[in-house]
Amino acid sequence: MKKPVVKPQELTVEQRINNFAEVVSGYTEEEMLQEATRCIQCKNPKCISGCPVEINIKKFIYQLTQKDFKGAFETIYEKNRFPSICGRVCPAEYQCRKSCVFTPKNSPYASENAINIPLLERYVGDYARQHNLTLNLNFQPLTKNTTNYKVACIGSGPASITVAGELSAYGIQVDVFEALHTLGGVLSYGIPTFRLPRDVLHYEINLLTNYGVKFYTGVIVGRTISFYELKKTYDAIFIGTGAGAPTWLNIKGESLINIYSANEYLTRVNLMHADKFPQYHTPINVGKKIVVIGGGNTAMDAARVALRMQKINSINDGKVTVLYRRTELEMPARKVEIEHAKEEGVEFQFLVQPIEFIGDKDGKVMGIKCLRCELGEPDESGRRRPVPIKNSEFIIDTDLVIVAIGLQANQTLSNTVSELKTNKWGDIIVNPETMETSIENVYAGGDIVGGEGTIIEAMSMGKKAARSILQKFGLI
Ligand code: FAD
Ligand code: SF4
């Protein structure tokens, strides 16, 4: 009989709800070995092609069964410099785990019993961090004096730091320019610490400085420094500026007080330390009847953060409700995040479409007028379209709303560079084979190209761009 997947330890709801501590623990060595030995080392391992950066999953799992931790680290590091980050936040159930032989064919996402590849990857990354394992990466014999080349990366999210990691391993000088005061992009300002502790994030990014990567924070390219100045100094530029602009519902009353975009709300908590109340007195309103609108990862993060914000501000009779236009089946958020949100007490109302925000005499939001929906035919995303039901209007009471219905291209840079071609949504247009933009030797990748995506997809685009840059320089 097949052994079931080894489940990780998690904080109980009582242990986690009053703080921002990491919820899911990593495997112990014993648990790791139990899980690694469930892998049947397939002849034709589909898990590898299921990983957007094609980590040799079969090999690193075998190395783990042999307790060859350095070897496993080398195997992963060759393809991905951020195992502790990806092991925590990659949507593996739609990627490597979905392709694992233990998931039945045509299943929309991974079976419970697929090998828990991300937790094994996390084990390796955490082991490397705890034991200060480093690697002297020099992938190819250098054919030229690569130190003559200089590359600038704009933004420090997963796409840019991947480019920096790939190129610096070839001895190229990479400088990263980040608008915020801290590195990591969404990993830093968006994803809460209970999913991705900041020591883990910063450790893996800072390892790049061993390869000579230099980071410049608080630099907005297009404002603080012009794109054209960088163009004069660097042999190639990579743009990884992400999709940081919120999408709004564009309904009446949306500018009322206490209606936040999820990005602003999460930034106030993650970067402005609202999670450290009372040590920090960050300007943020903490509602009692909070409503989060949306069904993706951002909505789940916002809801779970909002719940914790109520508790640390001693609001013990508060409530957080997620409104979503479709049903749970169509929610794009990771299943594990939906489960965690439910366990923690987040309530859900499905098939509901907000049509107007209602304000009180002081201009503060006090209610949301909504319509009930039913599911119609599938739309261009393949999911069944929500169709509002006539005369189904009702009002939900609220005192704080977080709008988390999507993100759009951050156009601060592209607005200042007229030669840079973008599409109607502001995403930068690239040659999909090379990731080169309409400007020669200027590349782009991540959410600024593909729209809101995933961390590993952004990394995969970064890898492709780095390869093209190396080819352009004649180094591979
Ligand atoms: P980003 O991470 O957006 O980074 C772009 C960086 O560029 C930012 O730091 C920004 O400040 C900087 N920048 C912008 N303009 C300039 C400029 N002009 N000059 C200098 N710097 C600039 N994906 C997953 O796979 N798993 C998850 O669990 C997950 N959870 C998420 C939760 C939230 C709340 C959000 C918002 C997204 C989540 N995602 C998740 C999606 C994922 O984080 C993104 O797809 C990914 O971060 C995109 O990477 P990127 O490098 O393209 O850009
Ligand atoms: Fe192991 Fe699953 Fe990959 Fe097969 S597909 S090698 S069982 S992780």
Question: If DSSP codes are grouped into helix, strand and coil, which group holds residue 256?
Answer: coil
- The preferred substitution site among 82, 188, 297, 427 for testing ligand 1, maximizing ligand atoms within 8 Å of CB, is 297
* pLDDT band, residue 147 (cuts 50/70/90): low
pLDDT at 144 exceeding the cut of 80: no
Could you name the CATH architecture of 13-130?
A: Orthogonal Bundle (1.10)
CA distance 60 to 359: 56
pLDDT at 354 exceeding the cut of 60: yes
CA 368 → CA 246, 309, 345, 399, distances in Å?
Answer: 19, 22, 21, 10
Domain with CATH 3.50.50.60 in the chain: 150-244+409-472, 246-407
User: Which of the pair, 2 or 19, is modelled with greater confidence?
Assistant: 19
Question: If DSSP codes are grouped into helix, strand and coil, which group holds residue 26?
Answer: coil
Answer whether 202's CB lies under 8 Å from 178's CB.
no
CA distance 442 to 438: 8
Q: Would you tell me how many other CB atoms lie within 10 Å of the CB of residue 440? A: 9
- The distance of Cα 188 from the centroid of its chain, to the nearest Å, equals 9
* pLDDT band, residue 182 (cuts 50/70/90): very high
pLDDT of residue 211: 86
**H or E segment at 121?**
helix 117-130
Answer whether 394's CB lies under 8 Å from 367's CB.
no
Q: Which atom of ligand 1 is nearest to the CA of 462?
A: 51
pLDDT of residue 273: 80
Evaluate: CB of 265 within 6 angstroms of ligand 1. no
The CATH number of the structural domain formed by 246-407 is 3.50.50.60
CA of 4 to the centre of ligand 1 (A): 35
Mean pLDDT score across all residues of the chain: 93
Could you name the CATH architecture of 150-244+409-472?
A: 3-Layer(bba) Sandwich (3.50)
pTM: 0.94
DSSP 268-281: HHHTS-GGGTTTS-
pLDDT of residue 314: 85
Domain with CATH 1.10.1060.10 in the chain: 13-130
- The preferred substitution site among 37, 101, 120 for testing ligand 2, maximizing ligand atoms within 8 Å of CB, is 101
* pLDDT band, residue 279 (cuts 50/70/90): confident
As a residue count, the chain comes to 476
Answer whether 31's CB lies under 8 Å from 128's CB.
no
Residue 441 zone, left/alpha/beta (φ > 0; ψ -120 to 50; rest)? left
* pLDDT band, residue 145 (cuts 50/70/90): low
Give the closest residue to 275 by CA, choosing from 305, 301, 317. Answer: 305
